[in-house]
Amino acid sequence: CRDSDGVLREFGSRWRRADCYDCSCSRKGIGCCAGFGTPVGFNEEKCEKVFNKKTCTYKVVEKEDPSKECPFSGMVA
């Protein structure tokens, strides 16, 4: 399999792209899916979700004071 960066991958191999998608190579081709969940069920007027590319995770923080986290009810893939 040749990935989107032009790298040749072996059948059965798995890797994480820079955009935090997990990929695998099989004889049918390459398949990729999000390697992170997205928070839902939070006060969108007061809070916002912030993505950390180094850890491939979201935090939900107050817009006025990003040092304060906001509660949320769940995560979706």
pLDDT digits (tens, 9 = 90+) for 2-38: 998 899 999 999 999 999 999 999 999 999 999 999 9
- Owning domain of residue 70: 38-76
Q: How far is CA 47 from CA 57, 72, 77, in A?
A: 16, 10, 20
Q: What is the DSSP letter of 56?
A: T
* CATH code, domain carrying 63: 2.20.25.590
Note the pLDDT of residue 61: 98
Number of domains in the chain: 2
Q: Which two tokens stand for residue 51?
A: 């993505």
Q: Are residues 49 and 30 in the same domain?
A: no
Q: Do 54 and 24 belong together in one domain?
A: no
Cα angle 23, 28, 29 (rounded to 5 degrees) comes to 40
| pLDDT exceeds cutoff 90 at 77 | no
Q: What predicted TM-score, i.e. pTM, was given to this entire model? A: 0.75
DSSP single-letter state for residue 6: S
Whether 42 and 27 share a structural domain: no
Q: Would you state the pLDDT for residue 48?
A: 98
Measure the CA–CA gap between 12 and 65, rounded to whole angstroms: 45
Mean pLDDT over all residues of the chain? 95
Do 14 and 43 belong together in one domain?
no
Report the pLDDT value the prediction gives residue 4, as an integer from 0 to 100: 87
